[in-house]
Structure 1
């Protein structure tokens, strides 16, 4: 396609901050100077400030996960209206329900239809095939591609890894982290929404064993979500409340990660998670659960360690293995090398532009 002539519509769910929103913003930055215009359509909570800075128009729609008849009619009407009024030529979806609407409304007949899959699924086979059948398919990782081809029988899937922009600094010291670091404590962070997916309860469950071996350890939980009160109660009941620093939702993740000794990803499922990439970008190794695309990023013993999902004991053992190292520099160097070679913003940018131009 001739990029200069295209009007692109990105559609995402994004009712909360997360990896998908980050990818959409990266694509906005990538294509803004190359195409005629970009429009973003997403749910409440999307980072409209970032779009405003890029002078990109935003349309808010109801939550794509809401399948009530009224909401589905509202979304259908709005999408038709946007495509017509903005003279859209390319629709790029980032959610299965978004792809469903494009297919249901036959918008793929008027526009080039692209979908990026960010997670693995094992349900709704006919629905998924229907939704993706007319799309040019991108998967954020090899496991996501394997899921699309093996589970749903879809073909011609291109892998483009997620990425994060490099951290340019300077580091802004977080007082609560500096305090404990100056006292000689290890700082071990877990970054993510406080939801079932992120498995924070298993991270909290691993803390007593780590503290027995390394009592001068503080666990930094960065994120917010519906399980916040439940997790706080678990920490109190488990006797580790005083060992945790709760930082809530933050938008300076790489800055905070650069002040940690180790990052933990305790997820139960992922597509290709951004957390390890963010950590690697500032040279911090990761202990992560071996689910879906995470082993594509973390190589056991090279730039971090892989643990069993839903297993606090194994998670504790892998964290202790890292803390036991006489020197942690090789793992830190490997983390940065992995980022530069495979998951930098430059790599993502070039891959997506090439993909668009090839259509």
Structure 2
């Protein structure tokens, strides 16, 4: 395929905060100099501004996950109009419903691509219909396995391209709260992610309670915001851990924050291929992660981090104690984490793989 002649439409649920939206921004950056033009449509969000700065047109459409019949009809009409008006040659979807709409309204001449960001066990017939004529990019081997085994998508239709992050620019801006805690000689353990059921923060708090009994110098830093914020605050207060667990809220400088932590925890209950451990590895920090879905594709247990069972605060606390008590091992694992990032999850690798994928369409 001659990339310079292609007009790409990315369909994504929102352009708010999240891993999927980050992937869309990465693809815009990778492909914007290679193709004729890129257009994005979504229900909007804070990252619309970044698209504008990149010179990429954004169309507002209804939430593609909405089950309201009027919204569904509007989405179909809007996407069809965008494809026609912008002379789109490739539709690249980032949600099953986006792929479904593309299947319904895109002419046969349009090439259809879709990213699968998570594993699912629902809407089997819909998913099969949505991906019927689509080249699917799975963000990890477990996501591909889910597509080919549960949804019975032909293996030759599915490629794997791991998520990645840009390297840290090295501009370390001290976070006052973290600086003060480090100055007291405390060990800083971070958990970064949306405050939602998926990220398992409640189990992180339970593990923190166990860990503080052995290591009162441990401080647990939660970075993020979301629908469980008040519930997590209440849990922390009930356990009287306000001085041990500190919630930073949403930050747009995650690698900068991570660089000031001693190590990172990912307590998720499910994932596709999470960005958090990749971000941590990019600044040389080891990660204790739950062994769910694609996380074991990143973390090599005992090499650059540890894998634990989800919903098991006792096991998580044991591994946190181990890293607190062995700073030399922590440093050695951090070196391996950085190597892992450079070898497999760098932005350079991501760029090479996506360009090769598109050229091969």
TM bucket by the smaller chain?
A: over 0.9
What residue in structure 2 maps to residue 101 of structure 1? 101
For structure 2, list consecutive stretches of 5 or more residues without a partner in the other structure: none
Q: How does 1:157-172 map to 2 (within 5 A)?
A: 157-172=158-173
Whether the 8 Å contact between 1:197 and 1:267 is mirrored in structure 2 is yes
Is contact 2:15–2:21 with CA below 8 Å preserved after alignment? no
Q: Give 1:222 shift.
A: 0.6
Structure 1 residue 239 corresponds to structure 2 residue 240? yes
Match of 1:341 in 2: 343
8 A contact 1:269–1:291 mirrored in 2: yes
Note the 1:16-165 alignment, pairs <5 A: 16-105=16-105, 107=106, 109-155=108-154, 156=156, 157-165=158-166
Deviations 1:119-144 (A, max 9, x none): 00011111110111110111000000
> Any unmatched runs of 5+ in structure 1?
none
Distance of 2:52 and 2:100 partners within structure 1: 28
Given that 2:7 and 2:37 are in contact with CA atoms closer than 8 Å, whether structure 1 keeps it comes out as yes
Q: Give, in whole Å, the separation in 2 of the partners of 1:276 and 1:264.
A: 8
How does 1:187-226 map onto structure 2 within 5 Å?
187-226=188-227
In structure 2, the residue matched to 1:303 is 304
Runs of 4+ in 1 over 6 A off after TM superposition: none
In the aligned structure 2, how far is the partner of 1:246 from the partner of 1:108?
49
Q: For structure 1, which segment, 179-188 or 241-250, has the greater mean C-alpha deviation from structure 2 after superposition?
A: 241-250
SS at match of 1:70: helix
Query: Which residue number corresponds to residue 357 of structure 2?
Result: 355
How has the CA–CA distance of structure 1 residues 212 and 154 changed in structure 2, closer, same or farther, with 3 Å as cutoff? same
TM-score (norm 2): 0.97
Q: Is the CA contact 1:15–1:63 (under 8 Å) kept in the aligned structure 2?
A: no
Distance 1:325-1:108 versus aligned 2 partners, 3 A rule: farther
> How far apart are 1:46 and its partner, in Å?
4.7
The number of residues matched between the two structures is 358
Tell me the alpha carbon deviations over residues 272-301 of structure 1, each in whole angstroms, 9 at most, x when there is no partner.
000000000000000000000000001111
TM-score with structure 1 length normalisation? 0.98
* Cα pair 2:268 2:292 within 8 Å, conserved: yes
Summarize the Cα distance change of 1:117–1:108 in structure 2 as closer, same or farther, 3 Å threshold: farther
**1:71 counterpart SS class:** helix
| CA root-mean-square deviation | 1.0
**How far is 1:103 from its partner?**
1.2
